[in-house]
Structure 1
Amino acid sequence: MSFDEKIAALIQRLPKLVDHLETEEATKNALIMPFIAALGYDIFNPQEVIPEFTADVGTKKGEKVDYAILSNGEVILIFECKKAGTDLGQAEKSQLFRYFSVTKARIAVLTNGTQYYFYSDLEASNKMDSRSFLELDLEDPRPHTLQEVKKLAKDNFDLERILSTASELKYTSAIKKVLSEQYDSPDEEFCKYFFSKTNPGGRFVGNAKESFMPLVKKALNQFVSEKINDRLRSALEPEGKEADPEVESPIEEEVVTSNIVTTEEELEAFRIIRAIVTKVIDPERVAYRDVKTYMSILFDDNNRKPVCRLWFNSRQKYLGTFDADRNETKNPIENLSDIYQYGEQIVAAVQRYIS
């Protein structure tokens, strides 16, 4: 199984597991070890993964980091693990900070099994930064973040490439966090900036401030909504220009032609979908049939039981999902990881055929 398949399977299992993980060891076994395995490292091979790795700090002996990941005998990643649900605050980060300075690893991970914070030494050599350069939440996975995490996988690991993008990721993540906070509740300084731009020479005090601050929040909401609508309109525009006869019925017989080319990208998406349905059926019961304009994902290889469709033959890619009446909705996607967002619809389609 690929990284995408393994991560998809782990994400699908989370709801059933998280509430039952009452210890750190249970969290390691159920969530963190599978995560490390998803990155391609053999968790049972001490030449690749060492649990309880000795990381003595000065005169303080017996210090151990939960997992050290090795490549060619050198430590490249360290994991400090906490029980599921633990708030990964300053105390937990301080412990990892100490371990970082006594190993050769340039990447350190602090995790509670669902949240993963990735650190490096971008500001001072061999001194872990106070702020992570990447954050992954498996309960709310973002496709772009998953693609960055994938670079840490055994087959993809290139330290120089990772570090070259880590600085950019660190600041873009921080900027997005600030924007998110301001979007939810714009503060006075933020509102004052827009006031000065729209009211040159005006004074941001009293009634002017009181009346203007709610307008900033309202304008932000409208701006984001308009941008989303513009993007959706642009993505869906080709559908109105050229009707595709194959879209009309999700259960019509598909005609195979000699011009069909099944791409590796389509096969990778198919593997992700198989991983998503593992919690309800044997993934072998999901098959695909490729036609000229799309790939059908089918339950029991039955053309009258569509699970979803892959529309990957144009610049804008879509994942087609089906409702209870087998009406198809074409959802625009940018990356294969976006498929995770439609896991519920995919599982629901399979469950309808089971029942």
Structure 2
Amino acid sequence: MDFQDIIRQLVERIEKMKDNVLTEEATKNAFIMPFINALGYDVFNPTEVVPEFICDIGTKKGEKIDYAIMQDGKPVILIECKHCLQDLSLHDNQLLRYFTVSPAKFGVLTNGIIYRFYTDLEKENVMDEKPFLEVNLLELRDTQIEELRKFHKSYFDVDNIMNTASELKYTNELKRLIASEMSNPTPEFVKFFARQVYSGQMKERAMEQFTGLMKRAASQWKNDIINERLKAALNNDVQVSTTSTAEKSEPEAEHCEDSDNGIVTTAEELQGYYIVKSILAQKVSLNRVVGRDTKSYFGVLLDDNNRKPICRLWFNRSNKYVGTFDAEKNETRHLINSLDEIYTLAEPICAAVDYYEGTTNGGE
């Protein structure tokens, strides 16, 4: 089984068991030992993994850390564990102290769900206060799996990891700073951009105005990015194209035109479309559920057939509606205040599919 599949299986295990893991020892047994095993190390082989590894610190003898991963008889990774519901903090933490007296180049602080990886980028043999890599297994991204793969027994190479650790650490720090500035811009950040578009003095009133403008601009920019990514992801799924003359003659549904004709598929429409697909996941093959945008609404069809409308998303207005269909294809519009409310319409959405599946001639 591929490393990625093994990690995904572990994630599923955590999701199912996390509410029943009540102690630190249970966290080790249920989550952390399987994680170490996923990295290719035999947790029951003391030449590879030593539990309760002894790290003598000065006059203190017999100090122990939860696990040490060994290579050629020496520790290369130190792991300190907490209970899965416990916050991770390095203050007065054993890992900081053990790292200094150990030949290990990497320290890991974990509660079985979040893994923080540390090294000594800032001062040799002194562990950095901030991790160069943090992975939350319940919010796992593919790029993070590739970073975890570097710690696998088969690929583990100190120099290789160190070469990317610095870039990872500072890139992540910059991302956090950018995210913070986007949501709550500091005066310095506001001034930096305002001075490039505004020639007046940045007095209190101007600062208030541009602080609000920065927040709105940042929000719109993020929405534009999400919209573009959703469109790209659904490029082979959602059909936004000029329809044939025969299809245009059908009275039951308006059809999509190309972007030159003014159709704009929004992020909300695509998100709503995905919710409809999730509702129908257990009923039909999802490749039979096709989305088509029009100037008035975003339509969801069965089998890409205009005679089989499942629902319509009327989102191009101040009030948002979802249109559902009965057996005679009469449309009923339901007012929604949030996209989550689409789930409350699961019954009529599924019923529409049942109507078409029960029609002997398929409605053609």
TM-score range, shorter chain: 0.5 to 0.7
Count how many residue pairs are aligned between Structure 1 and Structure 2: 252
Instruction: Give the CA deviation at 1:120.
Output: 0.5
Q: Map Cα deviations across residues 170-197 of structure 1 (whole Å, 9 max, x no partner).
A: 0001011112222332233222221122
Q: Map Cα deviations across residues 294-314 of structure 1 (whole Å, 9 max, x no partner).
A: xxxxxxxxxxxxxxxxxxxxx
Q: Map Cα deviations across residues 30-67 of structure 1 (whole Å, 9 max, x no partner).
A: 11001101101000000100000001111111211110
Instruction: Give the CA deviation at 1:237.
Output: 4.9
User: Does residue 1:5 correspond to 2:13, yes or no?
Assistant: no
CA contact (8 A) 2:99 2:127 kept: yes
CA contact (8 A) 1:107 1:119 kept: yes
Structure 2: where are the runs of 5+ without partners? 242-276, 291-364
- CA 238–88 in structure 1, closer or farther in 2 if over 3 Å, else same: closer
Q: Map Cα deviations across residues 285-333 of structure 1 (whole Å, 9 max, x no partner).
A: xxxxxxxxxxxxxxxxxxxxxxxxxxxxxxxxxxx99723323279xxx
Q: Within 1, Cα distance between the matches of 2:204 and 2:112?
A: 48
Instruction: Give the CA deviation at 1:234.
Output: 4.5
CA contact (8 A) 1:3 1:40 kept: no
CA contact (8 A) 1:24 1:84 kept: yes
Letter in 1 for 2:285: R
Q: Within 2, Cα distance between the matches of 1:237 and 1:52?
A: 52
Of residues 220-229 and 130-139 in structure 1, the stretch that sits farther from structure 2 once superposed is: 220-229
Name the residue aligned to 1:215: 213
Three-state SS of the structure 1 residue aligned to 2:76 is: strand
Letter in 1 for 2:195: S
- CA 183–325 in structure 1, closer or farther in 2 if over 3 Å, else same: farther
Three-state SS of the structure 2 residue aligned to 1:51 is: strand
Q: Within 1, Cα distance between the matches of 2:233 and 2:33?
A: 39
Three-state SS of the structure 1 residue aligned to 2:195 is: helix
Three-state SS of the structure 1 residue aligned to 2:91 is: helix
Show the 5 A alignment for 1:77-226. 77-91=77-91, 94-200=93-199, 202-226=200-224
Q: Within 2, Cα distance between the matches of 1:52 and 1:40?
A: 20
Q: Map Cα deviations across residues 197-246 of structure 1 (whole Å, 9 max, x no partner).
A: 2213x33332211222121111111112222333444555577699xxxx
Give the alignment's TM-score, normalised by structure 1.
0.66
Name the residue aligned to 2:19: 19
Q: Within 1, Cα distance between the matches of 2:222 and 2:57?
A: 49
Q: Within 1, Cα distance between the matches of 2:194 and 2:148?
A: 40
CA contact (8 A) 2:90 2:129 kept: no
CA contact (8 A) 2:31 2:112 kept: yes
- CA 66–172 in structure 1, closer or farther in 2 if over 3 Å, else same: same
Q: Which runs of 4+ in 1 moved over 4 A?
A: 234-242
Larger CA Rg, structure 1 vs 2: 2
Q: Within 2, Cα distance between the matches of 1:235 and 1:112?
A: 34
Name the residue aligned to 2:260: none
Name the residue aligned to 2:63: 63
Q: Within 2, Cα distance between the matches of 1:26 and 1:235?
A: 40
User: Does residue 1:327 correspond to 2:325, yes or no?
Assistant: no
- CA 231–18 in structure 1, closer or farther in 2 if over 3 Å, else same: closer
Instruction: Give the CA deviation at 1:81.
Output: 0.6
CA contact (8 A) 2:90 2:96 kept: no
Three-state SS of the structure 1 residue aligned to 2:75 is: strand
Structure 1: where are the runs of 5+ without partners? 243-319, 331-355
Instruction: Give the CA deviation at 1:74.
Output: 2.0
Structure having greater relative contact order (Cα 8 Å, sep ≥ 6):
1
CA RMSD of aligned residues (A): 2.4
Q: Within 2, Cα distance between the matches of 1:9 and 1:35?
A: 10
Name the residue aligned to 1:341: none
Q: Within 1, Cα distance between the matches of 2:240 and 2:205?
A: 51
Q: Within 2, Cα distance between the matches of 1:2 and 1:126?
A: 34
Q: Within 1, Cα distance between the matches of 2:25 and 2:233?
A: 46
Name the residue aligned to 1:73: 73
Name the residue aligned to 2:33: 33
- CA 55–141 in structure 1, closer or farther in 2 if over 3 Å, else same: same
Give the alignment's TM-score, normalised by structure 2.
0.64
Letter in 1 for 2:136: D
Instruction: Give the CA deviation at 1:116.
Output: 0.6
Letter in 2 for 1:325: V
Q: Within 1, Cα distance between the matches of 2:45 and 2:228?
A: 51
- CA 63–72 in structure 1, closer or farther in 2 if over 3 Å, else same: same
Q: Within 1, Cα distance between the matches of 2:236 and 2:43?
A: 47
Name the residue aligned to 1:229: 227
Q: Within 2, Cα distance between the matches of 1:126 and 1:37?
A: 27
